[in-house]
Structure 1
Amino acid sequence: MKLLEDNVRSVLLDMEDHMKLHEDWQNRDLMDASERTKINIDDYVYTIDNLLDGGYILGKRLGTMGDGDIYMIKSLSFSGHQFLDTVRSPEIWRQTKNVTSKVGSVTVEILSQVATNIISKQLGLN
């Protein structure tokens, strides 16, 4: 599977908007979020797995012997909030994707750096 940068941004934005303090998201919540964001459930879960592995969200993925994994997602991490803050603006996101599309696939860290550079230029810091 491929980790799609639009999915990363959409999942983080949705989590920020819909998660409540001290209320973990579990599998049913992920299915609801998949429907809400219009991201296929397999792609949504794949994005969640990668965000967990990358430290952008806090939670656990518990393996089972049966029907797949059980998820207990707590919140965005500090790194997740920082990334989201750099790509929150639709215009910054559009410009970021325009720049990165020239090289094809890039990491989340590169997306963040490009967005930060665009913001810095807009603020006259470069």
Structure 2
Amino acid sequence: MMKLNQDCVRDCLKFVESDLELGSFFHLDDFFESKKLSKYSQADIKYSLLKLSETDFLHSNPTIRDNDLVFFSTGMLTWNGHKFLDTIRDPKVWSKTKKITQHLESVSITLLSEIGSKVITNLIDENM
């Protein structure tokens, strides 16, 4: 059984945004070898990349064989990928978002984005 590691999803997006240069590509090994992602298992990284590809957050080319991700390349985040990352980038927003969702059995990436947006709105309201 694979459970989506939300922190890994966020860190994969941050890695692509911060380390990938325009016109270049990251492949599966780049994610596995990144010090920024070293705390995650290869299985968590693979599953996160698959889900990010499905959500259209990365311009990517996944190849799946025997129910396993065997090839992956990405050249950049999509508009939706940037939008999602901008919503959950701030550590304070991310912490509050995770705290709100910690008792839920399942939380989609879309729901994380919606909750993150509400957390940001509440933080803005508190500071006005």
Query: How much has 1:36 moved relative to structure 2?
Result: 3.2
C-alpha distance in 1, partners of 2:10/2:105? 17
Distance of aligned partners of 1:121 and 1:63 in 2 relative to their CA distance in 1, 3 Å threshold: closer
Q: TM-score, normalization: structure 2?
A: 0.86
Q: Deviations over 1:82-104 (max 9, x none)?
A: 01001111111111111111323
C-alpha distance in 1, partners of 2:10/2:116? 12
Identical-pair percentage: 27
Corresponding residue of 1:36: 36
Q: TM-score, normalization: structure 1?
A: 0.87
C-alpha distance in 1, partners of 2:94/2:6? 10
Query: How much has 1:75 moved relative to structure 2?
Result: 1.0
- When the two chains are superposed, the root-mean-square deviation of aligned CA atoms in Å is 2.1
Q: Deviations over 1:24-43 (max 9, x none)?
A: 1123212223x431211121
Corresponding residue of 2:74: 73
Q: Deviations over 1:56-88 (max 9, x none)?
A: 1111013569x9622221111111110100111
Could you say what secondary structure the match of 1:69 adopts?
strand
Q: Please say if residues 62 and 69 of structure 2, whose CA atoms lie closer than 8 Å, have aligned partners that are also in contact.
A: no
Gapped regions of structure 1 (runs ≥ 5): none
Q: Which consecutive aligned stretches of 4+ in structure 1 deviate over 6 angstroms post-superposition? A: none
